[in-house]
């Protein structure tokens, strides 16, 4: 993705932040007394990221964001469950009040939640009901493909939500699917035009 192909400025910031992270730069300045006063009274995040609960995946670190730049909603399977009132409230607030430019579904390699979709009957009921309750499926011939397809399934669920569809049409809300590789730090992005996953370049 080069500068001219970013769908909006928020996506440019995410990709440039990722390159910052990939090159091993230290995290950008987080919340501190000097910074606090500037952001205390308002927030203007450019993106909402829906990420897995997995402790090895930290969106603020991967995209090297400053405070106030992204809203993050995390759960097992980076899942969009329209019965989950916490998820739906966060989505609606992000889209209609904060007017985010992007909603990113961020999957990751080695996702145990996706692997567990094959064996829901072996899990405690609370975990099985979350993972399978909205109809998530292990879809694909390989583990990696199943993880990617889960991201695409969540994007499709987002597109079915009326206020999101409206924001896509009227305000150019952009939906993105991404996959973070824990073992290499690489990031792939789903190219909706070409209908394929492409590696995010780590150089401009």
Q: Which is nearer to Zn ion, 52 or 131 (CB)?
A: 52
Q: Give the whole-angstrom CA distance, residue 74 versus residue 72.
A: 6
Q: State the residue number with the nearest CB to Zn ion.
A: 52
Q: Which is nearer to Zn ion, 94 or 146 (CB)?
A: 146
CB of 113 to Zn ion, least distance (A): 4
**Alpha helix (H) ranges present in 4-137?**
9-22, 33-39, 59-62, 85-92, 112-116, 125-133
Q: Which is nearer to Zn ion, 52 or 175 (CB)?
A: 52
Both structure tokens of 25: 């730069």
CB of 108 to Zn ion, least distance (A): 6
If phi > 0 it is left, if psi is from -120 to 50 it is alpha, else beta; for residue 84 that is: beta
Q: Which is nearer to Zn ion, 71 or 131 (CB)?
A: 131
CB of 132 to Zn ion, least distance (A): 15
Q: Which is nearer to Zn ion, 183 or 203 (CB)?
A: 183
CB of 69 to Zn ion, least distance (A): 23
| Under 8 Å between Cβ of 17 and 58 | no
Q: Which is nearer to Zn ion, 106 or 167 (CB)?
A: 106
Q: What are phi and psi of 9, to 5 degrees?
A: -70, -30
Q: Give the whole-angstrom CA distance, residue 84 versus residue 46.
A: 23
Interacting residues with Zn ion (CB under 5 A)? 52, 54, 111, 113
CB of 58 to Zn ion, least distance (A): 12
Angle (CA) 29-34-37 rounded to 5° is: 110
CB of 152 to Zn ion, least distance (A): 15
Q: Give the whole-angstrom CA distance, residue 178 versus residue 176.
A: 6
If phi > 0 it is left, if psi is from -120 to 50 it is alpha, else beta; for residue 136 that is: beta
């Amino acid at each position: 993705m080069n500068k001219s192909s970013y769908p909006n400025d928020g996506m440019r910031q995410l990709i440039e932040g990722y390159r910052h992270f990939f090159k091993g730069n230290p995290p950008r300045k987080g919340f501190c007394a000097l910074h606090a006063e500037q952001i205390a009274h308002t927030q203007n995040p450019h993106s909402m990221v829906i990420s897995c609960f997995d402790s090895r995946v930290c969106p603020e670190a991967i995209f090297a964001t400053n405070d106030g730049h992204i809203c993050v909603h995390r759960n097992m399977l980076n899942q969009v469950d329209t019965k989950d009132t916490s998820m739906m409230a966060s989505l609606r607030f992000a889209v209609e009040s904060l007017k985010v430019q992007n909603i990113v579904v961020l999957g990751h390699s080695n996702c145990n939640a996706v692997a567990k979709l094959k064996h829901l009957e072996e899990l405690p009921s609370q975990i099985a009901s979350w993972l399978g309750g909205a109809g998530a499926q292990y879809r694909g011939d390989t583990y990696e493909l199943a993880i990617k397809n889960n991201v695409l399934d969540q994007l499709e669920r987002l597109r079915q939500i009326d206020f999101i569809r409206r924001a896509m049409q009227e305000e150019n809300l952009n939906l993105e699917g991404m996959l973070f590789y824990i073992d290499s730090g690489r990031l792939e992005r789903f190219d909706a035009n070409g209908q394929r996953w492409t590696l995010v370049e780590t150089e401009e």
